C-alpha cells in the first residue's frame, strides 16, 4: 500500500542494468537517506550504550586504571551482598507502593470532581494542571522549605492541631514520606489530565441508565464508570511505577540519600557509585538490576491488569 505510487511504473523494465539514477531515486536509497541522521543518533546514544553497559557490568572499570579486566559475575555478586543495595531496594519499594496508588487516587478524585460544567471549573482545572509545569528541582526546593524542621509552615499548621514540631527531612523515619508527598503533588496534574480525558470518553447514557435502574451514584461510579476507566488506570499504574522506580531528582536535591541512608533509593545509589565513586562496572550492574526490576514489575502489572481491564472495542 505504501508503494502503490511506485508500482504505476513497471518495476522490472530493465532487470540487468541498474543505473545510478535509479539507485538514487529508488525507495531503498531515499528510505535510508531519510532515516540515517535520526537513526545514527539513536543508535549511538541509545542502542550502543545498552550493549556497552551490559558488557561493562561484567568488568572492573573504575576510570582510574586504563585497563578494564573481565571479572565474571563479581559485580552482581557484590550487589547481592551489599547492605546498602538491600536498603535501597526497600526504600524504592516503600516509595513506589505509596506514591503510585496515592497519585492515582488523588488524580481520580479530582478528575471526577472536575468532570462537570460548573462555575470556575477552568480555574480549578488550570490549578491542577499547573503542577505539571514545575520542574522536579523547583518542586523539591519549594517542598523542603514548606517542610523545613525549624521554620517550615507545615510544622506551624500541625502545631495548630497540637502536633509537636517534626524533623521531616532531617528524620530518618520521616524523610521518605516527605518525598512521597512532594512527588504526589508534582504528578497530580498529570494524573488529572489522564483521568479527565478518560472520563470524557465515558458515554453519559451508561451512567444515566444505571441511575434509572436504581443504582446509587456510588454504585454507578463503582460498577459503570470505574470499569470504563480501567485502561487509563492501567496506563497510569505502569507509567507512574516506571517513574517511581527511577526516582532521583527530588532525593538528590532534598536529602542526598540521607539522613543515615533513609532515602537512598536505587537510582541515587547508582548515581553515587557511578559519578562519585567512579565504579562504572558496579554501577552498570546496578543499572541492569534496575532494568530487570522494571521489566518484571511492568509485565506483572500488564498480566494482572489485563484481568481487570475493560476495553470497549
Site for other proteins in 207-236 (CB under 8 A): 208-213, 223-224, 227-228, 231-232, 234-236
Tell me which residues in 244-273 interact with other proteins (CB under 8 A).
246, 248-249, 252-253, 267, 270-271
Contact status: 37 vs other proteins (CB under 8 A): yes
Residues binding other proteins: what is the number (CB under 8 A)?
A: 115
Say if residues 91 and 176 touch (Cβ distance below 8 Å): yes
Task: Name which position in 66, 118, 164, 307 contacts other proteins (CB under 8 A).
Answer: 118
Task: State which residue, 98 or 228, has the beta carbon closest to other proteins.
Answer: 228
**291-299 contacts, C-beta under 8 A, 24 or more apart:** 293/245, 293/266, 294/242, 294/245, 294/246, 297/241, 297/245, 298/238, 298/241, 298/242
Query: Exposed, middle or buried by CB within 10 Å (0-12, 13-18, 19+), for 93?
Result: middle
Tell me which residues in 10-29 interact with other proteins (CB under 8 A).
27-29
Tell me which residues in 65-84 interact with other proteins (CB under 8 A).
none
Say if residues 188 and 128 touch (Cβ distance below 8 Å): yes
Beta carbon of residue 226, minimum distance to other proteins (angstroms, whole number)? 10
Query: Exposed, middle or buried by CB within 10 Å (0-12, 13-18, 19+), for 273?
Result: buried
Task: Name which position in 69, 101, 159, 217 contacts other proteins (CB under 8 A).
Answer: 159
Contact status: 89 vs other proteins (CB under 8 A): no
Task: State which residue, 10 or 37, has the beta carbon closest to other proteins.
Answer: 37
Beta carbon of residue 313, minimum distance to other proteins (angstroms, whole number)? 10
Task: State which residue, 131 or 167, has the beta carbon closest to other proteins.
Answer: 131
Distance CA 268, CA 265 (A): 5
Q: Return all residues near 15 (Cβ < 8 A) that are at least 6 apart.
A: none
Amino acid at each position: 500500500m505504501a508503494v502503490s505510487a511506485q508500482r504505476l511504473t513497471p518495476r522490472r523494465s530493465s532487470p540487468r542494468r541498474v543505473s545510478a539514477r535509479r539507485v538514487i531515486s529508488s525507495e531503498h536509497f531515499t528510505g535510508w537517506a531519510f532515516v540515517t541522521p535520526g537513526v545514527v543518533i539513536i543508535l549511538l546514544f541509545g542502542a550502543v550504550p545498552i550493549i556497552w553497559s551490559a558488557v561493562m557490568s561484567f568488568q572492573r572499570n573504575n576510570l582510574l586504571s586504563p585497563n578494564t579486566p573481565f571479572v565474571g559475575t563479581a559485580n552482581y555478586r557484590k550487589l547481592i551482598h551489599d547492605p546498602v543495595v538491600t536498603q535501597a531496594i526497600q526504600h524504592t519499594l516503600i516509595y513506589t507502593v505509596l506514591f503510585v496508588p496515592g497519585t492515582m487516587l488523588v488524580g481520580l478524585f479530582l478528575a471526577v470532581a472536575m468532570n462537570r460544567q460548573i462555575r470556575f471549573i477552568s480555574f480549578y482545572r488550570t490549578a491542577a494542571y499547573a503542577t505539571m509545569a514545575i520542574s522536579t528541582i523547583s518542586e523539591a526546593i519549594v517542598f523542603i522549605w514548606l517542610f523545613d524542621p525549624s521554620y517550615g509552615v507545615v510544622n506551624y499548621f500541625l502545631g495548630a492541631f497540637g502536633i509537636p514540631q517534626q524533623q521531616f527531612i532531617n528524620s530518618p523515619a520521616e524523610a521518605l514520606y516527605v518525598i512521597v508527598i512532594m512527588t504526589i503533588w508534582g504528578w497530580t496534574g498529570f494524573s488529572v489530565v489522564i483521568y479527565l480525558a478518560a472520563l470524557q470518553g465515558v458515554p453519559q447514557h451508561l451512567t444515566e441508565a444505571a441511575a434509572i435502574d436504581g443504582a446509587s451514584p456510588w454504585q454507578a461510579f463503582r460498577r459503570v464508570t470505574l470499569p470504563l476507566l480501567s485502561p487509563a488506570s492501567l496506563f497510569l499504574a505502569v507509567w507512574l511505577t516506571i517513574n517511581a522506580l527511577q526516582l532521583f531528582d527530588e532525593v538528590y536535591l532534598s536529602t542526598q540519600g540521607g539522613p543515615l541512608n533513609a532515602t537512598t533509593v536505587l537510582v541515587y545509589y547508582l548515581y553515587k557509585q557511578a559519578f562519585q565513586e567512579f565504579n562504572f562496572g558496579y554501577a552498570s550492574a546496578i543499572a541492569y538490576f534496575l532494568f530487570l526490576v522494571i521489566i518484571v514489575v511492568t509485565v506483572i502489572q500488564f498480566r494482572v491488569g489485563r484481568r481487570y481491564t475493560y476495553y470497549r472495542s
